[in-house]
Amino acid sequence: MTKTYDQYRESTLGRADVEDTPELLAYYRQLEDLKVGALWTVANKIEPWQPKSDSVPVVWRYKDLRETVLRSVELVTPEKAGRRVIYLNNPGRTEVSAAVGWLYSGLQVMHPGELASAHAHSSSALRFIMEGRGAYTIVDGHKMTLGANDFVLTPNGTWHEHGVESDGLPCIWQDGLDIPLVNALEAGFYAVHPDLQQAVGFPVDDQVSLWGAAGLRPQNIGWNKPYSPLFKYQWEPTYEALRRYSEAREDNPFDGALMHYTNPVSGGHVMATIGASMQLLRPGFVGKAHRHTGSFLYQVAKGKGYSIINGQRLDWQERDIFCVPSWAWHEHVNESGTDDACLFCFSDLPVMEKLGLYREEALADNDGHQPVATSN
Ligand code: 1HN
């Protein structure tokens, strides 16, 4: 049987183990002058035995954030701010403004009658609607109306803008972007639309009309862009699909009933760099612990429960957001004995998969459950 990475880890054999001597220290200084370095001085750091995330597990509770986010309406306008957003700042990732790993997230608020102008960037983005009425997003001339728990794409390179109809209610949604990743790759471009606002060129919600019927593909309408033509995934059919799935199959031991939002043309992830899923934890579900590569940001679409992440218990309820850093042990529990819980999640899974970096492991000890070190 092959050894697990954990079993190899104890050995120092074959690892860099060079002690400093005055000659070596002088040599290192010479190397520095030449803008080079000796690999053995950094090898153990740059080649970790296994992923060691700088991100820490965090839960952002909506009851703590909501009022603060709403207060920004009194302080700045969307015109001045560009986007009126309070972003999630993981204490281990403040230098790159990431919520977890290479993913950015924030809460954006708009009042009825407000508009945020059109722009485009190399980052791919998504929105998950948290509350309000009358919100819309326009993506490359396609206008979409948005309600709570709807999920919308604004892929890499598309012109996009948002607003709330004058007869709506204040709206708050979660933005998710791959900005830290695109910046790390030094590949980011950004442009403001020359007219500040784009024209709506199609019937409202036309992409949903064309591409949103499960199992049906429109004749004579092509799509060859590297992201899903179905820009909006509505809550009701998503929840219905999850309920049917959970009636048709046993739970997955780690995730209950989990479905990926997909590109209806390819069957693959919705965008090249960001994937998303919704999972249903049936009443009383107690998941087992596993870990995998990739960074994951969850929003509680429905219900109440907790997750244990690297031994830390994080309690959550509807609208709370929490993160699972790469290679962190995690297990989810639905605390209700009567109601299901639903977790929306977005991640860099498409990147991990495409680059051949996805790896997954179940916790073998203790019947698959972590000891809980701290509660939060
Ligand atoms: C962006 O385009 C939006 O379109 C929100 O609403 C947040 C954060 C950084 C860069 C672009 C939006 C953003 C963003």
**What single DSSP character describes residue 336?**
-
Instruction: Say how far apart CA 7 and CA 10 lie, in whole Å.
Output: 7
Average pLDDT, the chain: 96
- What is the per-residue pLDDT for 1? 42
- Taking the centre of ligand 1 as the mean of its atom positions, its distance from the CA of residue 326, in whole angstroms, is 24
CA-based torsion, 331, 334, 335, 337: positive or negative:
negative
Q: Which of 255, 314, 256, 289 is nearest to 366 (CA)?
A: 289
Residue with tokens 């001045």: 80
**C-beta of residue 318 within 8 angstroms of C-beta of residue 336:** no
- Taking the centre of ligand 1 as the mean of its atom positions, its distance from the CA of residue 109, in whole angstroms, is 12
Residue with tokens 């708009």: 110
Q: Percent of the chain, pLDDT > 70?
A: 97
Instruction: Say how far apart CA 175 and CA 280 lie, in whole Å.
Output: 22
Helix/strand/coil for 316: strand
Residue with tokens 């820009």: 231
Which of 86, 177, 193 for mutating ligand 1's site (highest number of atoms within 8 Å of CB)?
Answer: 177
Atom index in ligand 1 nearest the CA of residue 119 equals: 2
- Taking the centre of ligand 1 as the mean of its atom positions, its distance from the CA of residue 124, in whole angstroms, is 9
Instruction: Say how far apart CA 30 and CA 32 lie, in whole Å.
Output: 5
154 has which bridge partners?
Answer: 125
Which amino acid is it at 307? S
Query: Which protein residue has the closest C-alpha to ligand 1 atom 3?
Result: 83
Q: How far apart are the first and last CA of the chain?
A: 39
Atom index in ligand 1 nearest the CA of residue 106 equals: 7
- What is the per-residue pLDDT for 11? 65
Instruction: Say how far apart CA 243 and CA 120 lie, in whole Å.
Output: 36
Which of 175, 198, 271 for mutating ligand 1's site (highest number of atoms within 8 Å of CB)?
Answer: 175
With a Cβ cut-off of 6 Å, ligand 1 is lined by 83, 85, 106, 108, 116, 121, 125, 154, 160, 162, 175, 177, 179
Domains of the chain by start residue, with CATH: 5-46 (no CATH), 59-375 (2.60.120.10)
- What is the per-residue pLDDT for 15? 87
pLDDT tens digits for range 163-221: 999 999 999 999 999 999 999 999 999 999 999 999 999 999 999 999 999 999 999 99
Q: What value does the mean pLDDT take over residues 288-314? A: 98
Atom index in ligand 1 nearest the CA of residue 127 equals: 6
pLDDT tens digits for range 344-365: 999 999 999 999 999 999 999 9
- Taking the centre of ligand 1 as the mean of its atom positions, its distance from the CA of residue 175, in whole angstroms, is 7
CA distances from residue 269 to 160, 255, 323, 340 in whole angstroms, order as listed: 20, 18, 20, 25
- Above 60 in pLDDT, residue 159? yes
Instruction: Say how far apart CA 183 and CA 129 lie, in whole Å.
Output: 26
Query: Which protein residue has the closest C-alpha to ligand 1 atom 12?
Result: 83
